[in-house]
Amino acid sequence: MNADVRVCFVGDSFVAGVGDPLLLGWAGRLGQRAIADGVGLTAYNLGVRRQTSADVLNRFVSECEQRLLAGTDARVVLSFGVNDATHENGQPRVDPEGSATNLTKLLGAAAERGWPVLLVGPCPVDDPEHNARTAELDERFAAIGAAADVPYVRVHEALLASALWMREVRAGDGAHPGAAGYDVLAELVLPHWREWLSR
């Protein structure tokens, strides 16, 4: 098995796996696959409900430094954006420029500490206008990832086209799927996850 590999999954309620009765979410499913592949993985789920990119930025270093110790294969998976694009009082909780700036700062903080990053894009919900705003963030995040030479996994369009994902989101709270929806999301990320871990 690969030696001490530690991965912090940092982000929002989708990272936390809200809605999954198995309490795994997509992060837990990826962790299971890594163990089955022989990776000596310790996975830390640092997903928090309702958090925006600004919230993630505020806690990122302090939470990850406690877990990603020197001498380990220390890595980070970042995923957020849906809450940034949520409208409150007629405007997004974080405007697109602010979201882009926060992501750039997060990638810079990770690079300074030598933590490889895998970026996973934001998911669609049961609200077309919200999804349009999130799709704009998806474009910005992809460009920032490319500029930083950080792998970016685009899931928004594929999940929007997934009848299973959208059905589970509608059957749930309008944002989060159940177990089968997280299966779909995990399968989208899986090949990128495996390639990233193999580096």
In angstroms, the Cα distances linking 41 to 31, 63, 72, 180, 196 are 7, 18, 11, 24, 13
**Region 116-123: what's the mean pLDDT?**
98
Closest residue by Cα to residue 86 from 7, 174, 1, 4: 174
Domain borders along the chain are 2-197
User: Is residue 4 a contact partner of residue 42, using CB atoms and an 8 Å limit?
Assistant: yes
User: Could you give the CA distance from residue 172 to residue 168 in angstroms, rounded to a whole number?
Assistant: 6
Q: Give 160-177 pLDDT, tens digit per residue.
A: 999 999 999 999 999 999
**CB neighbourhood size of 156 (10 A):** 21
In this predicted structure, what is the pLDDT of residue 3? 83
CATH code for the domain defined by 2-197: 3.40.50.1110
Cβ neighbours for 126, distance < 8 A, ≥ 6 positions apart: 166, 169, 170, 174, 175
Structure tokens at 78: 């970042």
Segment 35-81, tens digit of pLDDT:
999 999 999 999 999 999 999 999 999 999 999 999 999 999 999 99
Count of C-beta atoms within a 10 Å radius of residue 94 = 22
Percent of the chain with pLDDT over 70: 99
